[in-house]
């Protein structure tokens, strides 16, 4: 059975990251409307409406890149185990960032996450490109956006010194 010319596994690889992104956004949706509005943001932070379409396209792009790698390896994941390990690692970090940053209010740990995620995603993109050169077209936007996200996360960390590791303790003097 094929979906848009892709096997079910290939279709799953393509839309899987997008579904993970939807789940992550759903899980943290309340915090983006409440807590996020209370922290200091850098002047260059994009408006909130930019994030859903950008992340949707990035998730579909990285998913399709993984599909191309799978096609090249004829379904044998072990053939490119380093690339798959890098892909799974950066995707897991990517999907966990929203919970760390938005749900747990851990600005510093969100920054640490993206600082590990970015080089893993870049290394994954290089490995994917080595296997299937045109995957660079689908992974490069992710690297660019993660670079911007890392800068924004750093600036949020810098601008909110009392909130880097969650909410400050309540003032007990009264």
d(CA 57, CA 132): 20
Q: CATH number for the domain including 6?
A: 1.20.1260.100
Q: Examine residue 172 and state whether it is found in any structural domain, yes or no.
A: no
Contact 113, 102 (CB under 8 A): no
Report if residue 169 sits inside a domain. no
- Give, for all 174 residues of the chain, the pLDDT tens digit: 555 666 777 777 787 788 788 788 787 777 877 888 899 999 999 998 999 999 999 999 999 999 999 988 877 778 899 999 999 999 999 999 999 999 999 999 999 999 999 999 999 999 999 999 999 999 999 999 999 999 999 999 999 998 888 776 555 554
Question: What pLDDT sits at residue 68?
Answer: 92
Tally of domains within the chain: 1
Rounded to 5 degrees, what angle do the CA atoms 9, 119, 164 make? Answer: 110
Asked if residue 168 is part of any domain, the answer here is no
* Residue 80 forms part of a structural domain: yes
**What DSSP line would sit under 131-171, residue for residue?**
HSTTHHHHHHHHHHHHHHHHHHHHHHHHH-GGGTTSSPPP-
**Domain span including residue 21:** 2-37+47-163
Query: Degrees (nearest 5) of the Cα angle 154, 156, 158?
Result: 70
Looking at the domain assignment, is residue 149 inside a domain?
yes
Tell me, yes or no, whether 171 lies in a domain.
no
In a domain, 87, yes or no: yes
pTM as predicted: 0.86
Does residue 170 form part of some domain? no
Q: What pLDDT, on the 0 to 100 scale, is given for residue 163?
A: 87
């Amino acid at each position: 059975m094929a979906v848009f010319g892709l096997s079910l596994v290939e279709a799953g690889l393509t839309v899987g990251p997008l579904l993970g992104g939807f789940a992550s956004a759903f899980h943290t949706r309340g915090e983006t409307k409440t807590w996020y509005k209370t922290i200091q943001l850098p002047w260059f932070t994009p408006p909130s409406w930019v994030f859903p379409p950008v992340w949707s396209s990035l998730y579909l792009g990285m998913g399709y890149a993984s599909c191309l790698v799978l096609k090249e390896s004829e379904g044998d994941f072990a053939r490119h185990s380093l690339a798959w390990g890098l892909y799974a690692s950066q995707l897991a970090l990517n999907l966990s960032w929203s919970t760390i940053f938005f749900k747990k209010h851990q600005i510093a740990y969100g920054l640490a996450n993206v600082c590990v995620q970015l080089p893993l995603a870049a290394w994954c993109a290089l490995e994917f490109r080595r296997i299937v050169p045109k995957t660079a077209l689908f992974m490069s936007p992710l690297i660019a956006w993660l670079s911007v996200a890392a800068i924004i996360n750093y600036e949020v960390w810098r601008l909110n010194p009392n909130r880097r590791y969650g909410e400050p303790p309540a003032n007990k003097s009264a």
